[in-house]
Amino acid sequence: MPESAVKLAARLRAKEISAREVMEDLIPRLEARNRDLNAYVTLCPDQARKQAEEIDNRRAKGEELSPWAGLPIGVKDVICTQGIRTTCSSRMLETFVPPYDATVVRKLKEHGFLIVGKTNMDEFAMGSSTENSAFFTTRNPADLERVPGGSSGGSAAAAAAGIPALTLGSDTGGSIRQPAAFCGCVGLKPTYGRVSRYGLIAFASSLDQIGPFAQTVEDTAMLLGVLAGQDPMDATSIPGPVPDYLAGLHGDIRGTRIGIPGEYFAEGLDPEVRAEIEKGIKTLEGLGCEVVEVNLPHTEYGIAAYYFTCTAEASSNLARYDGVVFGHRANESGDIVEMAAKTRAEGFGAEVKRRIMLGTYVLSSGFYDAYYLKAQRVRTLIKRDFEKAFGKCDLIVTPTTPTTAFKAGEKTSDPLEMYLSDVYTTTINLAGVAGLSVPCGKDSKGLPVGMQIISPVLGEENLLQVAHQFQLAHAC
């Protein structure tokens, strides 16, 4: 297992290494590796070096700093960064430079993290492969011919490749967990409302959540502790204290009840993925966990309910991009209606247009009850499934994805097949619970397999504890 960011931070505090030295080691590796991976849309090495020098100077003066001051991090390009271009990997926002920081970015800066760049993604977070980026396709560090997953593919590829080992992503229906599984790193979607969404450019507001990528669960716990907490700028953020996730990693997990839902081990699951997940479950049993069967009977309706919900919310959220206030504006346009139509035709890619049209359709008169309203009723049933299941167990374990990473171009001609890549992750967002993907092995091609661990609302402390001890015990 690589040196964790937590251990690197300890070396920084002990002055065994300086923040400037960390950056001088990272930046050449990042620039070289990124030429292969295309993980970043925007790099800001000069700004990161300057911030590193400021951290070193403050530490030399004896100032009290955050324990994590000097650690480098990459940020998904859907999260606003003051003075740094934030594009959503879209032509619509290709030149947009936010005048403010997202709450999570403000917290990172307060703790002395060094932002090295903005990571590539599917345009407006709509996709499962990062092939929908308006700029370029990110490659999987495990196999450059394969996709890294999406929509946070750049963040997952960067974390897995260690450039750097900490990144931020966002997850609307699996966009952290699915690429974490494909690339072989850890990715966490927290409980909805555990982390502020202020400054996250919206895709589907009732589903979106910011979360961390890392190479270790230990680093994931540390980063969640930095990000979590109520924010007055986000009315959906949850009040109450934030646990010390890092300190809670080492508790006794014997007797933890692990629920195994049969619905996630049915037709469509690759046999090699299933075999690795079953080995992972055996590891948990060896650690003293108790395995129980649970049912999530409405799982089969999750994809449909998710896509009706997210496209409806996307059609509303993306209505603001009309060329009037900010973002791309079409040239030589006529009246305001023609200008808005040309702007949106030029600025949005094919997948974004597809989802806007689907969302507008399901919200339209005569179809609202049949599609959107019914999807919300199914969403309630899915949420009740999880509540009932968690009455029998403490955590639920499933595969993160039905297959390992597929080759670039393999599914681009069939949007429905691409959507099914998220079949095991969307219900977690619909229910608002927390889910984490942890590396669990490799298939016969050497491609990573991810195991998904799901907790009840605000159950991240137990989730991280079990995932940490699993990662220490399970060689993969």
Q: Where are the beta strands (DSSP E) in 225-275?
A: 257-261
| CB distance 81 to 98 below 8 Å | yes
Q: Give the position of tokens 């919900």.
A: 309
pLDDT at res. 165 = 97
Compute the Cα dihedral for 366, 371, 373, 374 and give only its sign.
positive
- What percent of the chain has a predicted confidence (pLDDT) above 70? 99
Q: What is the DSSP letter of 190?
A: P
Active-site hit among 89, 129, 151, 152: 151
Q: Is 206 a catalytic residue?
A: no
Catalytic residue (one of 76, 107, 118, 189): 76
Query: What is the rounded average pLDDT of the residues 110-129?
Result: 98
What mean pLDDT comes out for the span 7-33? 97
Tell me if residue 151 is catalytic: yes
Token pair of 123 as six digits: 């345009």
Is residue 473's pLDDT more than 90? Answer: yes
Q: Answer yes or no: is pLDDT of 192 > 60.
A: yes
Q: Could you say which of 18, 128, 170, 175 is catalytic? A: 175
Nearest residue to 426 (alpha-carbon basis) of 406, 449, 454: 454
Provide mean pLDDT across the span 121-139: 98
Which amino acid, 337?
V
Determine contact, residues 471/1, Cβ cutoff 8 Å: yes
Q: Residue 454 and residue 436: Cα distance in Å, rounded?
A: 6
User: How confident is the model over 411-438, as pLDDT tens digits?
Assistant: 988 877 887 788 999 999 999 999 999 9
**CA pair distance 80, 205, nearest whole angstrom:** 16
Task: Supply 55's token pair.
Answer: 């951290």
Q: Give yes or no for a contact between 464 and 438, defined as CB atoms under 8 angstroms apart.
A: no
Q: Is 315 a catalytic residue?
A: no
How far is the C-alpha of 343 from the C-alpha of 84, rounded, in Å? 23
Average model confidence (pLDDT) across the chain: 96
**Paired tokens of 289:** 């966990």
**21-73 pLDDT, tens per residue?**
999 999 999 999 999 999 999 999 999 999 999 999 999 999 999 999 999 99
Average pLDDT estimate for 111-131 = 98
User: SS3 breakdown of the chain: % helix, strand, coil, rounded to 5?
Assistant: 45, 15, 40
Distances (CA, A) of 212 to 82, 108, 155, 159: 20, 12, 9, 10
pLDDT given at position 2: 55
- Over residues 301-332, the pLDDT tens digits come to 999 999 999 999 999 999 999 999 899 999 87
CA distance 158 to 74: 8
pLDDT of residue 332: 73
Domains of the chain: 5-249 (3.90.1300.10), 252-296+386-473 (3.40.190), 304-369 (no CATH)
Rounded to whole angstroms, the Cα distance separating 165 from 215 reads: 6
